[in-house]
């Protein structure tokens, strides 16, 4: 029940909210004692809901997606880490790139950088260069009410767009984080501990990130990352090869 309360009723980097929430449960039971009402000494989820109301947070669990164009990123927030689904789709058009989902300028730049890299390396990726002239690309990040920004979704944007263009699904149970450049480099990002813990909480079994972030992973206690395989990359073609399972020539 402590774990249930922590996951469903609190979302913070510290424990002040958890302290207040637990106190609320105790006051609820104390009231029943004072009023000579029946109460349980061992609480279940229904008792918690009676004391605190409906759950406030629903931590997004990873669900396997077999559709092309969907990749899972890792985000840092003030309340810790979270997984982030990024969706890309293609349609007939004039080469327009559309970005939706309450994205900040830096995140929009990551999508543009990813598309520019794909266009520049279309032949090595097995994509017809002329296809971009009559194909519109739409990138969407769900939960539009939540602002999203930062460069760490770069490799996720790259993977989602490439997956949509190649019509090939991304490897399941894989999440990723890393900044990208036009030169094809993958750069390190921050908030690794929070992102890794969010991935483990969501059921992710593999995380791909920059080689320079290896030292940050090594600082996380082994018990916290048990069952997670880490793939370290330095180049964007390594990202595509690992995520989509085909070689970039």
CATH code at position 96: 3.30.230.10
If asked whether residues 38 and 90 sit together in one domain, one would say no
Residue 195 annotated among the catalytic residues of the structure: yes
More confident residue, 56 or 232: 232
Residue tagged active-site, from 8, 148, 193, 195: 195
Residue tagged active-site, from 8, 110, 152, 193: 152
Contact assessment for residue 207 and residue 102, using Cβ atoms and an 8 Å cutoff: no
Range of the domain at 111: 70-244
User: What domain count does the chain have?
Assistant: 2
If asked whether residues 236 and 144 sit together in one domain, one would say yes
Residue 234: predicted pLDDT: 97
If asked whether residues 203 and 106 sit together in one domain, one would say yes
Residue 152 annotated among the catalytic residues of the structure: yes
Whole-number Å distance between alpha carbons of 94 and 53? 50
Write down the H helix ranges in 58-177.
105-120, 122-125, 154-166
If asked whether residues 147 and 231 sit together in one domain, one would say yes
Q: What is the mean pLDDT of residues 210-235?
A: 94
In a domain, 174, yes or no: yes
SS (H, E, C) 63-91: CCCCCCCEEEEEEEECCEEEEEEEEEEEE
Q: What is the pLDDT of residues 67-98, one digit of tens each?
A: 899 999 998 877 678 888 999 999 999 999 99
Contact assessment for residue 114 and residue 156, using Cβ atoms and an 8 Å cutoff: no
Residue 172: predicted pLDDT: 92
């Amino acid at each position: 029940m402590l774990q249930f309360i922590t996951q469903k009723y609190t979302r913070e980097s510290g424990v002040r909210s958890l302290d207040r929430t637990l106190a609320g449960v105790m006051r609820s039971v104390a009231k029943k004692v004072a009023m000579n009402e029946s109460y349980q000494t061992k609480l279940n989820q229904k008792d918690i809901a009676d004391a605190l109301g409906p759950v406030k947070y629903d931590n997004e669990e990873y669900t396997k997606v077999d559709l092309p164009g969907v990749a899972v990123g890792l985000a840092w927030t003030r309340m810790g880490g979270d997984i982030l689904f990024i969706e890309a789709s293609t349609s007939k058009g004039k080469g327009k790139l559309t970005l939706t989902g309450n994205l900040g300028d830096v995140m929009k730049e990551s999508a543009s950088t990813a598309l520019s890299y794909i266009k520049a390396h279309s032949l090595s990726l097995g994509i017809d260069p002329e296809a971009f002239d009559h194909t519109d690309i739409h990138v969407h990040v769900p939960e539009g009410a939540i602002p999203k920004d930062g460069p760490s979704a770069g490799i996720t944007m790259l993977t989602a767009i490439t997956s949509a263009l190649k019509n090939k699904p991304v490897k399941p149970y894989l999440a990723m984080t890393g900044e990208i450049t036009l030169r094809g480099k993958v750069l390190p990002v921050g908030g690794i501990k929070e992102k890794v813990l969010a991935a483990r909480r969501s059921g992710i079994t593999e995380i791909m990130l920059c080689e320079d972030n290896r030292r940050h992973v090594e600082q996380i206690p082994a018990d916290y990352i048990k069952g997670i395989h880490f793939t370290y990359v330095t180049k964007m073609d390594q990202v595509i090869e690992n995520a989509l399972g085909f070689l970039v020539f």
